[in-house]
Chain A
Amino acid sequence: MVVGLEHFLILSAILFSIGLYGALAKRNAVVILMSIEIMLNAVNISMVAFWRYIAPALMTGQVFVIFIMVVAAAEVAVGLAIIIAIYRSRETVDAEQIDLMKW
């Protein structure tokens, strides 16, 4: 069975859904961050698959993946810093307990 574009896209969609579920359902802030990373990776897979099967001559797909990686690295650095700062002041990283600003 030949592997084609659809396979990669469906794999990407499955990964994105798993990440979406994790980001919405989990309470631990670090796990939420991990789920977001899975979602970004899912997008990366579809980007590279589009580059490979639709426009191999243009490198735009791969360049976008590089930018996504940069943003992901920045996001993780800042996100984890925020989580650690919250943990220092509130002794928890439970997203449902960090609700001071909720009405």
Chain B
Amino acid sequence: METGIAISFWILAAVTIASALAVVLFRNIFHAALFLVLCFFTIAGIFVILSADFLAAAQVLIYVGAIAVLIIFAIMLTRETQRGSPSGRLRLPALMVGLLFLATMVFIVVSTDWQVITEIPDQPTTSAIAQALFSGEEGFVLPFEIAAALLLAAIIGAIVLVRER
């Protein structure tokens, strides 16, 4: 079981990083969007490895099924595929910033002494998430309601922005 998880992790991590690189490096913007889909999907796989099954399904449902499709839709609507996705003048500084950030993060992660709990939480997460979201004092009822309001505002805003007059 442990080896299975390790094998899956390395494969998924490699595919995730490769497809994320493809998103930012490919000139064909439609291909970049397809690799974004692959990246989201493998991240769902990583959630499964982390035994967050509800989040994995939500990841596929929201990111792959909605966000990625919306992005592809926008690519079609803006017809920018011929021009592709070239890099701007900031390419080298951006590369430096990215590498610097990566180095800092890796240094922090490696040097910190994490208080890791080794035993695997083996109960399904769905009801636990529901408890955490909706239970009275310690729950997230108010943020949940605010999120709902935010979504509604976003929907109305998007409609108003792209509506043809």
- Whether A and B touch (Cβ < 8 Å) is answered with yes
Cα of A5 to Cα of B49 in the assembled complex, Å: 12
Q: Produce 1/0 per residue, A12-26, CB < 8 A to B.
A: 011111111110111
B147, closest chain A residue (CB): A70
Which residues of B lie under 8 Å from residue A13 when comparing CB positions?
Answer: 101-102, 105-106, 109
Cα of A96 to Cα of B83 in the assembled complex, Å: 14
Contact yes or no, B23 A38, CB < 8 A: yes
Cα of A91 to Cα of B85 in the assembled complex, Å: 15
Residues of B within 8 Å of A, CB-based: how many? 86
Q: Produce 1/0 per residue, A65-95, CB < 8 A to B.
A: 1110111111111101111110100001111
CB A92 to nearest CB in B, in angstroms, measures: 8
Contact yes or no, A73 B133, CB < 8 A: no
Given contacts A38-B39, A41-B63, A52-B121, contact A30 B46 (CB under 8 A): no
Contact yes or no, B95 A70, CB < 8 A: no
Interface residues of A, dominant DSSP: helix
CB B160 to nearest CB in A, in angstroms, measures: 8
Contact of A18 among B17, B67, B93, B143 (CB under 8 A): B17
Contact yes or no, A81 B24, CB < 8 A: no
CB B79 to nearest CB in A, in angstroms, measures: 8
Which residues of B lie under 8 Å from residue A30 when comparing CB positions?
Answer: 29, 33, 71, 74-75, 78, 80, 85
With a 10 A CB-CB cut-off, give which of B78, B87, B105 has the most chain A CB atoms: B78
Would you list which residues of chain B between 69 and 110 have a CB under 8 Å from chain A?
Answer: 70-71, 73-75, 77-78, 80, 83-91, 93-95, 97-99, 101-102, 105-106, 109-110
CB B162 to nearest CB in A, in angstroms, measures: 5
9 extra A-B contacts, CB within 8 A, seeds A30-B80, A62-B132: A3-B6, A11-B46, A26-B24, A26-B88, A28-B84, A28-B86, A48-B47, A58-B132, A78-B157
Chain B contacts to A: CB under 8 angstroms: 2, 5-6, 9, 13, 16-17, 20-21, 23-24, 29, 32-33, 36, 39-40, 43, 46-47, 49-52, 54-55, 58-59, 62-63, 66-67, 70-71, 73-75, 77-78, 80, 83-91, 93-95, 97-99, 101-102, 105-106, 109-110, 114-117, 119, 121, 125, 128-129, 131-133, 140, 143, 147, 150-151, 153-155, 157-159, 161-162
Q: List 12 A-B contacts (CB under 8 A).
A: A19-B24, A21-B24, A28-B80, A31-B29, A37-B67, A41-B43, A65-B55, A66-B133, A70-B150, A78-B154, A84-B161, A85-B161
